[in-house]
Chain A
Amino acid sequence: MSRDPQPQVGGARIEHRDEAELVTRSLAGDRAAFGALVDRYAAQARRVARAVLRDPDDADDAAQDAFLSALVKLEQYDPRRPFGPWLMRIVANAATDRRRRRSVRSAEPLDPGVVGGGPRPDTAAERSALSERLRQALAELPERRRLAVVLFDVEGYSHAEIAGMLKIPEGTVRSEVFHARRKLRTLLEDWREPS
């Protein structure tokens, strides 16, 4: 199975020309075609699910549910539109549903000290620690806000596409991304300042 490399930023900019064909073949029962779609969007779906669900296993379960749900709903997909936003909407819904079912776990209070500043991430260990702090900080954001910032800054979707995925006005997406960035940038700046 060939794997299309995910761009560093801009999952939405993945070449979509052949996706309509892959969908058509999937609908005709071509398992390999659906496998190609899964292969292409697996990492993105798992990241988006993880933005909602802190637990990586829960996130993977949600992403898997989303792919299977997408397969069932594949006839509803409009091949004139890009596949990514359509799929990510399903992923976000699957993750949100799972998060609601596990609301007790997701409501775990965060250690306030963890999301504070720290040394510069010069080593792999420090980068790993920064990632953990970013995940913690992300988890402190309202769900819609963290989804918006991940979809925009990590996956490269436009405000309009995110608005369609989350069923909120485009202006609200902009606002959510702005507020999320303000919080997360503060964390990154703290890492860059000498302690």
Chain B
Amino acid sequence: MMEELPFDHEPDIQLGAALRQALEPAGHEAFVARVMAGVSTPKAGSWDVLAGWAGRGIAAALLVALGAGFAAGRALQPASASIEEGLMSAPADSGTAAAALVRGNNPPDASIVFAVRP
């Protein structure tokens, strides 16, 4: 046993050997194999996998929804979407001109809006 000196700089060989024997694990090869098996199949919780799938699913669903919305919007547009055409074709005293103004997607041309009908 080494002399007990405070703050020895060298390891205590005897104490170290006794501790090593006390802590020495068995089954070295089995442990290494176990670790390497864990490396082959990294731990991925099922929730992680599902989250990955969900992320891709949500992205795909968003794309589909955007496409569907765009298509639906196009389909709902009136065939004569031009306000100018609606204003010019409607009788002066009917409400059709005002309806065309409200229904249109684009602002009407000022020359049409302020045109004086003969």
Known: A8-B17, A10-B11, A182-B4. A42 touches B35 (CB 8 A): yes
Q: How far is the CA of A153 from the CA of B8 in the complex (A)?
A: 10
Closest beta carbon of chain B to A156's beta carbon, Å = 6
Smallest Cβ-Cβ distance to A157: which chain B residue? B11
Say yes or no for B75: interface residue by CB 8 A criterion.
no
Known: A50-B23, A154-B23. A38 touches B1 (CB 8 A): no
Known: A46-B25, A50-B25. A38 touches B32 (CB 8 A): yes
Q: How many residues of A contact B (CB 8 A)?
A: 49
A148-168: CB near B (< 8 Å → 1, else 0) gives 011011101001000000000
Closest beta carbon of chain A to B48's beta carbon, Å = 14
Closest beta carbon of chain A to B36's beta carbon, Å = 5
Most chain B CB atoms below 10 A, which of A3, A59, A135, A188 = A188
Q: How many residues of B contact A (CB 8 A)?
A: 32
Say yes or no for B19: interface residue by CB 8 A criterion.
yes
Q: How far is the CA of A35 from the CA of B39 in the complex (A)?
A: 9
Q: Which residues of A contact B59 (CB under 8 A)?
A: none
Say yes or no for A143: interface residue by CB 8 A criterion.
no
Say yes or no for A56: interface residue by CB 8 A criterion.
yes
Q: Which residues of B contact A174 (CB under 8 A)?
A: 7
Q: How far is the CA of A135 from the CA of B25 in the complex (A)?
A: 13
Main secondary structure of the interface of B (DSSP, over half): helix
Say yes or no for B12: interface residue by CB 8 A criterion.
yes
Q: Which residues of B contact A185 (CB under 8 A)?
A: 1, 4, 12, 15
Q: Which residues of A contact B52 (CB under 8 A)?
A: none
**When the two chains form their complex, are residues B19 and A60 in contact, meaning their CB atoms are under 8 A apart?**
no
Say yes or no for B45: interface residue by CB 8 A criterion.
no
Q: Which residues of B contact A60 (CB under 8 A)?
A: 25, 31, 34
Say yes or no for A131: interface residue by CB 8 A criterion.
yes
A1-20: CB near B (< 8 Å → 1, else 0) gives 10100001110000000000
* CB interface residues, B 33-88, toward A, < 8 Å: 34-36, 38-40, 42-43
Q: How far is the CA of A157 from the CA of B19 in the complex (A)?
A: 15
Q: How far is the CA of A159 from the CA of B7 in the complex (A)?
A: 10
Chain A residues within CB distance 8 Å of chain B:
1, 3, 8-10, 31, 34-35, 38-39, 42-43, 46-47, 50-51, 56, 59-60, 63-64, 67-68, 71, 127, 130-132, 134-135, 138, 149-150, 152-154, 156, 159, 174-175, 177-178, 181-182, 184-185, 188-189, 192
Knowing that A38-B35, A42-B28, A127-B21 touch, tell me 18 more A-B residue pairs with CB under 8 angstroms: A8-B20, A9-B16, A35-B32, A46-B23, A50-B25, A56-B25, A68-B38, A131-B22, A135-B22, A138-B19, A153-B15, A154-B20, A156-B16, A177-B8, A178-B6, A182-B4, A185-B4, A189-B1
Chain B residues within CB distance 8 Å of chain A:
1, 4, 6-9, 11-25, 28, 31-32, 34-36, 38-40, 42-43
